[in-house]
Amino acid sequence: MKNNAILKQTSFISFVAIIASLLWVTSAPNESKTEQQIRSYIVKSNDSGLLSSIVSDMSLSPTHELSIINAIAVPLTAEQYAEVKANKALTVTENYQVELAGGNAWGKRKWQPRAVVPSSIDADYVHATRNFGDGVTIGFLDTGIDSLPGTSSDLGLSTDLYGRDKFWGTYDAITNTVSNYSNEESGHGTHVASVAANADYDVYGKVYGVAPNAAIVGIKAFDSEGKATYADVIRGIEWALQVKDQINLRVLNMSFGGMQRSYYWEDPLNQAVMKAWQEGIVVVASAGNNGPDPMTIGVPGNVPYIITVGAMTDSYTELQTSDDKIATFSAAGPTPAGFVKPDLVAPGGHVAGLMAFNTQIVNEHPEYHDGGKYFEMSGTSQAAAVVSGVAALMIAQDPSLSPDDVKCRLIDSAHTALTSEGTLAYSVFQQGSGVVNAKDALSSTASNCANQSLNIAKDLADEEHFYGPANINEDGNFYVEGLGEEYVWKIDESALSNDAVIWRLNYDDNPMDWKNMASTDAVIWRLDFETSAVIWRLNFETDAVIWRLNLETDAVIWRLNLDDYEAAPININSWVEPQ
């Protein structure tokens, strides 16, 4: 039975009062300066007194206090920026925009589409044991959640399978307020939440959500267009840490991504994500929709500690697995620090989810809405939500599981895509450990198989940082150091060559040493051709070409050094074609 402590009911008003007391009241930026002269920056220092002194001496007006990473967000003129930047005791990062990792609105129009995701990952076996994710709260850092109360069925996001209220409401990180009502203009956050926790049934009596009794809370950091700033997202993460014990928030879904601008440990958003993981929250992030090329994983999916999820699709044949495939839009690894990502994949093609008829996405793509409350989308956003639901089922079964335990069992029990010859159908840089399987994840007793060679405390303290086992060979193909030829990603070759996919449980089938490999020694990635050009350069102060996949050109794939005022969006994942 669901623990009444996490049910909203009459206790939600007191919950709002408690949380409101935790909120930091922001000051308005100086409106005397023109918008063209001002940019927002995240200023970080381990000396809080220094930050206070800078704010006082320069008469600054911070918009966000980001204590989770010992920083503030503050608008600065070009002159103020130069003055702050000159202080070597401060780390200054532009308050970049972020965008959600939502999929395209492409799909087949259906009336009340079938619920297929739980069956496809064997979550229905878990449901048969009466485990529906009771007692666990999943937070969705997104565009908000519309619980859709008063629709044709009250089951869904407002109540669970037993009719009990499960919606905690929404914290708006943009306005720094808490409310117990629905407020979502985009539709993305509601769709993602429903993939994980929808308690509604389809016409065949199948439940839609992976963890339909899990409680949910919206953390709104993205606007109706799916855009946000680093500061708002970090503030949302900090709020999740403040309330996690009151509402048993154990899983935090992040279906968004942004461009990597540095090693994972130098990015302020990643630092907040790592802090959440360290504090006991299972963080699930989408890999991004920028695939299929290598090194397309975004922020925060490049954080080695967390669970990063790519997408696969059933090619519209739900009862036939042989034509399953990795979605072409699904981002691939390795990360610039040499880690294998994604960690695993999950259904992310044409996924049915809840979405109100008057949202931005439906207004733009009405043909993919069923006219009632369902919408079909594709993307790694949806795939991440599937894994968040499985994580909730795991924690409901065993609340003692740590984030590392959850990650270990998820990747240990995933089903690897193999060809009929028994070789990898996809590189580990595309599929990670394979497709998630809820039944086997809950049956797994694996331990000490994730993040064991990492040290998150030293990482966050800036004492020690880590590199993964990925490298590149003389042919320009990525591989995992210490493993065999099968773990070389021959990028120019067709992924499957028309072979059927066999999803095989990999408890002992394959050497998965890469899951736990990390080192403090930097990997110099080189192309050992006539030029011996350095493709991964450790000096972040240069504008060097970092990665050249096409050896006949000098095309820059990824640069480290951006102009001071250059902003790249971080947002919901880009729209993708139906798969």
Residues noted as catalytic: 142, 188, 381
Backbone angles phi, psi at 507, to 5 degrees: -55, -50
* H-assigned helices in 305-398: 360-364, 380-397
Q: How far is CA 381 from CA 190, 285, 321, 468, 556, in A?
A: 12, 8, 22, 25, 28
Counting DSSP H helices and E strands in the chain, the numbers are 14, 26
Tokens of 556: 């820059």
Q: How far apart are CA 452 and CA 464, in angstroms?
A: 14
Residue pair 111/238 in contact (Cβ under 8 Å)? The answer is: no
Q: Which of 243, 17, 214, 221 is nearest to 118 (CA)?
A: 214
Amino acid identity, residue 467? Answer: Y
DSSP assigned state of 24:
P
Q: 252 - beta bridge partners? A: 139, 283
The first and second tokens of residue 318, run together, are: 């739900």
Percentage helix, strand, coil, to 5, in the chain? Answer: 25, 20, 55
Tell me the β-bridge partners of 74. Answer: 41
Please give the single-letter amino acid code of residue 465.
H
Both tokens assigned to 187: 């539709």
